[in-house]
Amino acid sequence: MKELTHWINGKHVKGTSGRFADVFNPATGEVQAKVPLASKAELDHAASEAAKAQVKWGATNPQRRARVMMEFVRLLNRDMQKLAEVLSSEHGKTVPDAKGDIQRGLEVMEFCIGAPQMLKGEFTDSAGPGIDMYSMRQPVGVAAGITPFNFPAMIPMWKMGPALACGNAFILKPSERDPSVPLMLAELMQEAGLPDGVLQVVNGDKEAVDAILDNPEIGAIGFVGSTPIAEYIYGRGCSNGKRVQCFGGAKNHMIIMPDADMDQAADALVGAGYGAAGERCMAISVAVPVGDATADALIERLIPRIEKLKVGPYTAGNDVDYGPVVTAAAKANILRLVESGVQQGAKLVVDGRNFKLQGYEDGFFVGPHLFDHVTRDMDIYKKEIFGPVLSTVRAKTYEEALAYAMDHEYGNGTAIFTRDGDTARDFANRVNVGMIGINVPIPVPLAYHTFGGWKKSAFGDLNQHGPDAFRFYTRTKTITSRWPSGIKEGASLNFKPMD
């Protein structure tokens, strides 16, 4: 059986803790590899080495750092197919979806090529008599990223790209469920010219996470995962004096107005609700049609589309719409929540509970589910299911529909489908959610904008990628400078203006 490694100082390093986690093939249920789980000592060693390597990397001029990003992008395109196949074999998503995962990370790396522009400071000439004032953006030193299983290429690149472009060293703690692609990204970074030690990949579980939170050499931490863990990391990291950004769970609503194009809305819901088996933090998991006539028309269109979805292994290529979920535990949790929806009175319109795939009976496949007449007190409405389950909550009015999105504890993404510009504008202005789609079901911003939710979907003041990333991974230093020019003022103990 394959035994994976850590990536320390530019080479693969075997784990020394003696602890390992299983890496499954989700399509077959078989264990395909073992990944080492780092001890505190291993993480601390990686951080210490990263701090040493960062000194020279931080002193490298921004344009030369950007050239490494440029070469990495070229190599990533070269190896796209290989990366996608490895990603699919550990996560379960289809190869086309895996390529999308990689592409969205690649776009952030492309944005990082422009780092020199983003790192420019400000300058004021003659702020006072003979006095100039200017600011510099400098790296925080060593940063760390704790990334989730559902985007094992994209999120690591969202974190490490800006951090490295800013001159930091970076420690990546990827999900232990699908760790191979992050290790491959580290290899490509080395091939692109990144000095050894500047990027370390340390596999692990809670012990490694706690070591990151407590290590004094790590100055900034980025996390993506569930809300309870996000709250834990944010609290412990901040208490240790670190800069922390954490992105948690989601329950994304899509409001369908009576004037919407129902076929367009139905297609959008199927893609946004069932793509990647629903294992996306920006998946639409709640449809909110306004009025019973709208709801009936929508359900009528959804049922045949959902029943035609093809579920299968990634090896089936384009003949599959989505694959298995990542683990047996994930599958069990999804089916438990589906059962709770039935018990609590929701109408299960499309029932995927008994789905079996011939030849893959031990795989972690979950059939598609569609609920109607869901109410806000049900578990399937309150909790993030992270599976191929779409809940329909009927609203009588636009205001009631808006309240569903606004009152929910999560505020990651939301969407509205309508032909009315006034309604769309009102929705965008009023809804207390971080990312809004207008006739766009998954409103993930492009790399040069910023990604982040509100409420219990995000903790911290700055978002991911875009300009916020360069603010997060740098500190501002402001310099007031005066050179002697024969002016003699004498000593003054008064605090006075420069002019």
Using alpha carbons only, how large is the chain's radius of gyration in Å? Answer: 25
Question: Catalytic residue among 112, 166, 246, 281, which?
Answer: 281
**Given the DSSP bridges, would you call strands 11-13 and 252-256 parallel, antiparallel or unpaired?**
unpaired
Q: How far apart are CA 319 and CA 326, in angstroms?
A: 20
Neighbouring C-beta atoms of residue 423, cutoff 10 Å: 18
CA angle (366 as vertex; 363, 370 as ends), nearest 5: 175
Burial 212-248 (b: 16+ CB within 10 A, else e): bbbbebbbbbbbbbebebbebbbebbbeeebbbbbbb
The two tokens of residue 60 are 């490298």
Phi, psi (deg, nearest 5) at residue 28: -110, -20
Q: How far apart are CA 322 and CA 310, in angstroms?
A: 7
Neighbouring C-beta atoms of residue 391, cutoff 10 Å: 25
Give strand pairing partners of 129. none
The two tokens of residue 41 are 């000592």
Burial class (CB in 10 A: 0-12, 13-18, 19+), 56: exposed
Is 166 among the catalytic positions? no
- Just list the catalytic residues: 281
